[in-house]
Amino acid sequence: MTVLKNAFTVDFEDWFQGIELDPATWEACEDRLAVGTLRLLDLLGEANVRATFFILGSAAATAPDLVKEIATKGHEIGSHGYGHEFVYRLGKEAFREDLEKSLEILDRLVSQPVRGYRAPYFSITPGCEWAFDEMAACGLSYDSSVFPVQNYRYGDPLAPRWLHERGSGITELPPSTWRCAGRNIPVAGGAYFRIFPYTLTRFGLLKANSAGHPAVFYIHPWELDPQHPRVPVPRRVAVTHYWNLRATEPRLRRLLADMPFASAAEVIEQVGQFQGPTHLPGPDGSRVGGSGPLTG
Ligand SMILES: [Zn+2]
């Protein structure tokens, strides 16, 4: 019997790039990217897990050797865009420019083809469907940005919870949720991993597996660096960014021991993406034919 693997994904960016600071201030911020990244690479190495790193282009520009090291260790490289801007604010043309700029720098740094994209702040929301056409036009084959939850800055609670075809040649790999009392509870990682008890995350991810689906987990390098600087940010941002950072490393160690993980590309391949779209359900969650080899 094949063991169902789960996607371990990393949004590769420095601590100041995900807290809605003016990019003009980034240069004055302390560069801490290597601290969390090297800890993460050690943890993944100990667990013998190859993950997907969605690389922010502007972070790659300041830490090219770190990106090369990630790729050399066998991890998949994806794009997290270039400037860490909300996709729904960028609009179609600026999104394309941002994506192309990020792919250009990745192309210079790594030899593997880039297949996947994760939007900053999961900011592909209803009305941003044009983004999938732009991804396909840039040669990408999957996206992991549509979070089926309600959050003040992202989410689509009506979006499918499981891997599905978007219809533009793009496969969507949604971050994991646990369906409880008619609501989707985010159990995919990040701040939720630090705020909720560890056992809730594990329970939610295993629930996905017991339903025959891979779970999708995400984390940031700065979440493994509790000593990174504190700056004044809006309270709603501070709560999620700084909460319980010391818990990340021990919890990650447990998680990596508790269930099998692989890169997003490997997980999609496992579910049948590369055998043709008929193996995957459509956007409404209904199967369009075939029976995906989820387990067995
Ligand atoms: Zn990000």
Digit-coded pLDDT (tens) for 185-222: 999 999 999 999 999 999 999 999 999 999 999 999 99
* Residue closest to 38 by CA, chosen among 79, 66, 77, 76: 66
Across the range 266-277, mean pLDDT stands at 71
Q: Within a domain: residue 274?
A: yes
Spatial CB neighbours of 108, under 8 Å, sequence gap ≥ 6: none
SS3 11: strand
Type and span of the H or E element at 40: helix 33-46
Please give the pLDDT value at position 283: 53
Q: Within a domain: residue 269?
A: yes
Q: Within a domain: residue 260?
A: yes
Structure tokens at 194: 């630090």
Q: Within a domain: residue 291?
A: no
With cut-offs at 50, 70 and 90, classify the pLDDT of residue 290.
very low
- If one counts the domains in the chain, the total is 1
Structure tokens at 217: 């987990």
State the distance from the centre of ligand 1 to the C-alpha of 18, rounded, in angstroms.
5
State the distance from the centre of ligand 1 to the C-alpha of 181, rounded, in angstroms.
30
Over its C-alpha atoms, the chain yields an Rg (Å, rounded) of 18
State the distance from the centre of ligand 1 to the C-alpha of 70, rounded, in angstroms.
17
Q: Within a domain: residue 287?
A: no
pTM here? 0.92
Average pLDDT of the chain, as a whole number: 91
Residues with a beta carbon under 5 angstroms from ion ligand 1: 11, 13, 18, 120
Q: Residue 274 above 70 pLDDT?
A: no
State the distance from the centre of ligand 1 to the C-alpha of 54, rounded, in angstroms.
9
Please give the pLDDT value at position 173: 97
Q: Within a domain: residue 108?
A: yes
CATH number, domain of 17, equals: 3.20.20.370
The per-residue pLDDT for range 279-288, each reduced to its tens digit, is 455 555 443 3
Q: Within a domain: residue 117?
A: yes
> Hunting for tokens 């250009």 — which residue is that?
104
Please give the pLDDT value at position 289: 31
State the distance from the centre of ligand 1 to the C-alpha of 217, rounded, in angstroms.
14
166: containing domain: 6-279
Q: Within a domain: residue 60?
A: yes
Which backbone phi and psi does 137 adopt, to 5 degrees? -65, -25
* Residue closest to 128 by CA, chosen among 100, 156, 165, 101: 156
